[in-house]
Amino acid sequence: MIKKYWKDFLSLLYPELCYNCDVALVEGEDKVCLRCYRDFPLSNYHQSEPNPLVQIAAGNEKVKGGYCYMKFNKHGVAQKLLHEVKYKGNSAIGVLLGEWFGKYLEKELTTLELDGIIPVPLHKTKRRKRGYNQSEIIAKGIQNVTGLKILNEALIRTKNASTQTKKGKVERWQNVDSLYKVVDKESIERKKVLLIDDVITTGATISMAAEVLAESGVNEIYFACIASGK
Ligand SMILES: [Zn+2]
């Protein structure tokens, strides 16, 4: 009891603030206030026809569906939260985003009977620098809600993005097919997987990862991201 009063007292002095609107959080709220949570700009892409995420992988017939949590707006809530995860080392927000996303999709994901989640991998140098792969952290959150397996060892990123950014657009496209490689074919063969990335913008990288998975014998691929500007 004393501990609780002490905690309440401390939170009066140093309240935890909403990462989106800076209002002091109250009990039961975590990282964002209830008002901001209710106002998340949900994409509902999986209910749109055509689905913008499936469209980015046109030509890859294994890509069957796509789920995006929020619309990506400049300075919007998705950008703020993902910035914390990617550049401030705040992996707890990543897990929470995954859990919220998992709850949002729980019915759909259960119906799909997926074999597992594949987080789009980072190059090992980048992963080491950041300390974690944000897509993997988000996948963990989804796993907490759905119990889905994370197939973490199947796919690797063979090249670091920083070596790519200086090149021209055309050259980059020519290079992009060698970005990912399947290293454990057996674990994904004939499987139905959810390929997850934190943000999908042009869709070039996730499409390439999907291409490599399709070539390696995956049966069905579903895209998922926390935010997309599509
Ligand atoms: Zn708020």
Question: Which CATH number characterizes residue 134's domain?
Answer: 3.40.50.2020
Q: Per residue of the chain (230 residues), what is the pLDDT tens digit?
A: 677 787 777 777 778 999 999 999 999 999 999 999 999 999 999 999 999 999 999 889 999 999 999 999 899 999 999 999 999 999 999 999 999 999 999 999 999 999 999 999 999 999 999 999 999 999 999 999 999 999 999 999 998 865 544 555 555 555 445 689 999 999 999 999 999 999 999 999 999 999 999 999 999 999 999 999 87
pLDDT for 185: 94
Q: What is the model's pLDDT at position 228?
A: 94
> If you measure from the C-alpha of residue 174 to the centroid of ligand 1, how many angstroms do you get, rounded to a whole number?
43
For residue 29, report the distance from its CA to the centre of ligand 1, in Å.
10
Ligand 1 mean position to 17 CA, how many Å?
8
Compute, in angstroms, the gap from residue 163 CA to the centroid of ligand 1: 38
Q: Kindly report the pTM of this predicted structure.
A: 0.88
Give the per-residue pLDDT at 32. 97
Cα of 88 from ligand 1 centre, angstroms: 19
Q: In this structure, is residue 33 part of a structural domain?
A: no
pLDDT at 14: 78
pLDDT score at 85: 97
Q: Kindly state whether residue 84 falls inside one of the protein's structural domains.
A: yes
- Domain membership of residue 34 (yes or no) is no
Q: How many structural domains does the chain have?
A: 1
Domain that holds residue 85: 41-228
Q: How far is the CA of 140 from the centre of ligand 1 (A)?
A: 24
> What distance in angstroms lies between residue 171's CA and the mean position of ligand 1's atoms?
43
Q: Does residue 47 lie in a domain region?
A: yes
Distance 25 CA to ligand 1 centre (A): 8
Residue 111 maps to a domain: yes
If you measure from the C-alpha of residue 16 to the centroid of ligand 1, how many angstroms do you get, rounded to a whole number?
A: 11
* Centre of ligand 1 from the C-alpha of residue 15, in Å: 13
Asked if residue 31 belongs to a domain, the reply is no
* Integer angstrom CA distances of residue 164 from 119, 129, 157: 21, 18, 13
What spacing in Å lies between the alpha carbon of 83 and ligand 1's midpoint? Answer: 16
Q: What is the pLDDT of residue 28?
A: 92
